[in-house]
Amino acid sequence: MDFYLLAVVVLFALAVSDLMVGVSNDAVNFLNSAIGSKVASRRAIMVVASLGIFIGATFSSGMMEIARKGIFNPEHFFLAEIMVIFLAVMITDVILLDLFNTFGMPTSTTVSIVFELLGAAVVVSLIKIAAAGEGLGALGQYINTEKALLIIGGIVLSVVVAFTIGVIVQYVSRLLFSFGYEKRMKRVGAIWAGFALTALSYFLVIKGLKGASFVSDEFLVWVNANTTGILLVLFVACTLVAQGLIWLKVNILRLIVMLGTFALAMAFAGNDLVNFIGVPIAGFESFMTWTNSGIAADAFAMDALTEPVRTDSLLLLAAGTIMVVTLWFSKKARSVTETEVNLGRQDEGLERFTPNGLSRMIVRISRDGGRLLTALIPRRWLRAAEANFTYTERPLDPDPPAFDLVRASVNLTVASMLIALATSLKLPLSTTYVSFMVAMGTSLSDRAWDRESAVYRVAGVLSVIGGWFLTAVVAFSVSGLFALLIHSFGIVALLALLGVAACSIFRSIVVHRRREREKEERLRATSRVERLTHDAATEETTQGIAGALRAIRQGYEDALDGLLEEDLGKLRQARHAIKTLKKQNELLRSNLHHYIQRIDEPNGDGSRMYLMFYDMVQDIVQSSEFIVRACDAHVQNSHKPPTPEQRDALIAIRDQVGAYLRAVEVKIQRKAFAEITETLDEKDRLLRQLGALFDRHVEGVRAQAYGAKNTGLFISLLLESKDLAAIAARFLKFYHRHLVPTPVVVLQD
């Protein structure tokens, strides 16, 4: 009794966590279009979405069939086995969804819960089969394999159909409206709005209100039987209303986007709630049924789970409240939303994903195919179409929308149509997959993926799609493993796995905070849009160089200390310092265009300053990276340490080069460029000393005093140390030449 009571308590505690991580991931489905288009303030969008979630959760019938009998046949399991399955599923779901949220990757909560149930049920079934001495053929009586195959088919179907329809509808919409859609709304806006509002209204009935307590099954049957007539009446009514609103100068596209946000949020809460609380409720019902039976848990058959049971309204109300609160306060929900918005944004900017071979190949093939297609289309048609796809960038807009209201309305309308159609036909399309792929299709059709960004965006889409299939594999295998552990070790395994889940969530919080800090640094580098004077540009570059020199000095000293002490920890610190600096330099390179645009100057001195700044930082980073890699490889490969003579020389080099870099850093930070002769003289002395060490070492090599590995390392460190000192001096000379006024010599008669 104690174990199963604990199991029920744990299931409900995990349900709260699952609601939070689930909403954080699924929020992208209904927030993406509204936030990306900035249809209203974020607060207004959140209010509409929250209202949709709350109503959807409250009106949900709570028919948690997927957790009760959708994947496995409960009548063949006992309570003890059912609890093992449910516990393994919930622990896996919390860990898996939180991991996806941490990295801002949207996935399907339906797919995750289905494959977790499948994995745990398969493992428990195999244990039962082995104990009974049956063959693998008996697995079919325990597991509903047809459901899993439908889900897998739904993944592929969602990707292909949603993307294709999104491309086609957005292309037609852009031909109708162009990017200057305000002018054409009076002519075609009412028809388009009528079509969109009809689709969204039908979606609300078929998907959003399905199973609501006040909507009878007979009504839904009647709707399905009279779909064509209902849609025609809705279309006429919505078109007339839309035309009236246009005459009143109301932006009808804003209404469409807000209604679509509400509809998708309501459908999400009403239908996907099972993914988060279905398992705990089924576990609680199983426990309550068994409590008064007087039968042992490992002999009590779970036939009761085959019967439909409506969930208590208070539980649904509590679940809706948790979802709404999470939506408002979850930073991870913003990360997932930003991933999709950034993949579809119209403007250029920082790209999160790195191109790979597959993305490059897809872009090349698409480009070649596009050329062939355009060759077959009359040029007159191409010129007419091209005029509708002319997009004007706004480089100095402080916070531009990622895309316009036309595309946002297409995203929501097409996604709603496809989901409603799939629901009426009982096809296993995923809400997440449909919403994401429609958004990507409209982005492609809108030419948001141009030659400058296509490989990055395609790589991002491939990463997200790969994550979907990874969800199924990981959910199945991890849930099965957890079920095996709980079945074998009972409460000990349960407590251990809860500890693993807690550690995983804590670790993900740390990782997410670090990623957010890095993202904020990138945003700070690109979000400043004010015009810069020459003095402001100087301030930015000097502070940037001072920070770079500080990181290089720290990495340099840690690398040499790690080499001399064979300390992998210090070498790790050195690698991290240089890695961070490389990221900053890559950020600088990708934003040179942005920086130069900001500078308000008549002669271009500030622009040249940025270019020289980038050039010198790149050189000094390369030298620093070589030093760190050489020291790290030497220690990692367990080569002989430096000889006593080499050791003494390296200590002296470390101290002198470190002190010199520190002196240059201080001068740049203080902008003390008027008198740099002493610092440059110190550089010359340092270079002469390094040259003398080089000559002595060459003599030692001839005398066979040093081994081959030590020789290569020592000489490399000497040469790169000389480069560090020389490049640091270039910074001083550069600022001295550009910022210190040349004295005017007055000749007297």
Confidence at 324, pLDDT banded by 50, 70, 90: confident
% of the chain beyond a pLDDT of 70: 83
Residue 640 vs residue 150, higher pLDDT: 640
Task: Supply the pLDDT for residue 605.
Answer: 58
Token pair in block for residue 169: 């509808």
Token pair in block for residue 592: 């040179």
**What is residue 363's DSSP assignment?**
H
Summarised one tens digit per residue, pLDDT across range 367-417 is 878 778 777 777 777 777 777 777 665 554 556 787 888 888 898 888 888
Task: Supply the pLDDT for residue 595.
Answer: 60
Token pair in block for residue 392: 């004007």
Task: Supply the pLDDT for residue 587.
Answer: 65
Task: Supply the pLDDT for residue 230.
Answer: 84
478, pLDDT greater than 90: yes
How long a stretch of residues is the chain? 749
- Cβ proximity of 106 and 310 under 8 Å: no
**What is residue 570's DSSP assignment?**
H
What does the alpha-carbon distance between residue 400 and residue 530 come to, in Å, rounded to a whole number?
15
Summarised one tens digit per residue, pLDDT across range 515-557 is 777 666 655 555 444 455 556 666 767 777 788 888 888 888 8
- Cβ proximity of 203 and 270 under 8 Å: no
Q: What is the pTM (predicted TM-score) of this model? A: 0.75
Task: Supply the pLDDT for residue 699.
Answer: 74
420, pLDDT greater than 70: yes
Write the DSSP assignment of 17-44 as a string of letters.
HHHHHHHHHHHHHHHHHHHHHT-S-HHH
Summarised one tens digit per residue, pLDDT across range 13-67 is 888 888 888 787 777 778 888 888 888 888 899 899 888 888 877 766 544 455 5
What does the alpha-carbon distance between residue 674 and residue 737 come to, in Å, rounded to a whole number?
10
Please state the domain extents for the chain.
2-165+258-346+355-377+399-405+448-520, 530-739
Summarised one tens digit per residue, pLDDT across range 667-706 is 888 877 777 788 888 888 888 888 888 777 777 777 666 7
496, pLDDT greater than 90: yes
Partnered with residue 301 across adjacent β-strands are 78
Query: How many other C-beta atoms are found inside a 10 Å radius of the C-beta of residue 376?
Result: 6
259, pLDDT greater than 50: yes
Task: Supply the pLDDT for residue 747.
Answer: 44
**Cα angle 98, 102, 108; round to 5:** 55
581, pLDDT greater than 60: yes
Task: Supply the pLDDT for residue 485.
Answer: 93
- The CA–CA distances, whole Å, from 238 to 197, 202, 265 equal 6, 12, 21
Task: Supply the pLDDT for residue 393.
Answer: 58
What does the alpha-carbon distance between residue 392 and residue 691 come to, in Å, rounded to a whole number?
57
Task: Supply the pLDDT for residue 392.
Answer: 62
- Cβ proximity of 158 and 87 under 8 Å: no
Residue 277 vs residue 119, higher pLDDT: 119
- Cβ proximity of 38 and 401 under 8 Å: yes
Query: How many other C-beta atoms are found inside a 10 Å radius of the C-beta of residue 602?
Result: 6
Architecture of domain 530-739: Up-down Bundle (1.20)
Write the DSSP assignment of 48-78 as a string of letters.
HHHHHHHHHHHH-----HIIIIISB-GGGSB
Helix, strand, coil percent content, the chain, rounded in steps of 5 = 80, 0, 20
